[in-house]
Structure 1
Amino acid sequence: MTNKEIVEKLRDNAELAWASYGYFHYFLEQQSKSHFLVMQDRQGNEIRDADNKSKIQEIYITDILNTNYKNHRVVEFVQLDKEQKEITISKLDGDFSPLQAKQFLDRYDLLIHQTNTESSFSAALFYDTHKDGFVVWFRETECGF
């Protein structure tokens, strides 16, 4: 293996490890829950409409890793009596540049994402379209005995 191949393999593994911490469940759960992303301006202020309601958009898989959406609130809308309430679920925490997030998700298909369980287990199963193979990535979040 050449030095270039070693560096590329290291980079690929580092990106996989980094991406495995993505909050992909917000994207995957959109089909069954009403998760949305609250939009912000460049200064980090939430954008509101004329009725003072948050401007929201659907969560795309690239948004999860994209640093442009870091600290954007993820909200869910629930019906309480006759009123619809906005509940903050979390904030996105992506660390990839927009191009890096796009290139990563062009190469790897996310097949399964297991969010943190009570025992702190979490994992992601990716399919590498360049190498025609599967990659499973386990991550440690916290360990309490």
Structure 2
Amino acid sequence: MKNKLLINKMKNAAELAWAAYGYFDLIGKKFAHKKEYGNRTNTKITLHDILDSTYVNYETHDSTFSNTLKLKGDFTPTQAKRFFERYDLLIHQPNTESGFSATLFQNKESKEFTLAIISTESKCDGIK
């Protein structure tokens, strides 16, 4: 039974790390008004939408010619649903100028916290 528990913990840790790359700062923004977005055009982006691969490359209403804000989730719809059945997203720090990003999750059942700290971009030019 120890092996099964260990494997499950490793799977959960990997999934949390994977989820930490979600663009959660897009929650509440609206999908762009595009015919191909069907019934999602001009609707608010939800927590689940951020991780759901269904919406990869969907643009937000706030996108501009020089700054296209696109979703990049790579969970299956079922995986995104199950993830947020197990975890709450408590705080998300979007990318800073240096590429730092952090997300705090809490397991709904155990109440354990997971802080995922990532660096998404290398902007160390000129730092000595």
After TM superposition, the score normalised by the length of structure 1 is: 0.75
Alpha-carbon distance in 1 for matches of 2:9, 2:52: 22
Instruction: Report the aligned-residue RMSD.
Output: 2.4
Matched, 1:126 2:126: no
Pairing 1:108–2:87 present: yes
Gaps of 5+ in 2: none
Whole-Å separation in 1 of the counterparts to 2:18 and 2:43: 25
- When Rg is computed on C-alpha atoms for both structures, the one with the higher figure is 1
Tell me the distance in 1 between the aligned counterparts of 2:84 and 2:10.
Answer: 18
2:96 to 77, 98, 117: 117
Matched position secondary structure for 1:7: helix
Structure 1 residue 66 corresponds to structure 2 residue 60: no
Question: What is the rounded CA distance, in whole Å, between the counterparts of 2:56 and 2:49 in structure 1?
Answer: 9
Counterpart position of 1:36: 30
3-state secondary structure, aligned to 1:56: coil
- Does structure 1 retain, via aligned residues, the 8 Å contact 2:33–2:61? no
Cα deviation 1:18-57 (Å, max 9, x = unaligned): 0000000110xx3xxxx2113778xxx4559xxxxx9321
Structure 1 position 140, deviation (Å): 1.7
Matched residue type, 2:25: H
Q: Is the alpha carbon distance of 1:96 and 1:39 closer, same or farther for their aligned partners in structure 2, counting shifts above 3 Å?
A: farther
How far, CA to CA, are the matches of 1:25 and 1:5 in structure 2? 33
Residue 118 of structure 1 aligns to which amino acid in structure 2? E
Partner of 1:136: 115
Q: What is the percent sequence identity of the aligned residues?
A: 41
- Deviations 1:53-94 (CA, angstroms, capped at 9, x unpaired): x93211111000001111111122xxxxxxxxx746411000
Aligned AA (1:10): M
Question: In the comparison of the two structures, how many residue pairs are matched?
Answer: 122
* 1:121, distance to aligned residue in structure 2 (A): 1.4
Q: Which is richer in strand?
A: 1
Q: Which runs of 5+ in 1 are unaligned?
A: 49-53, 77-85
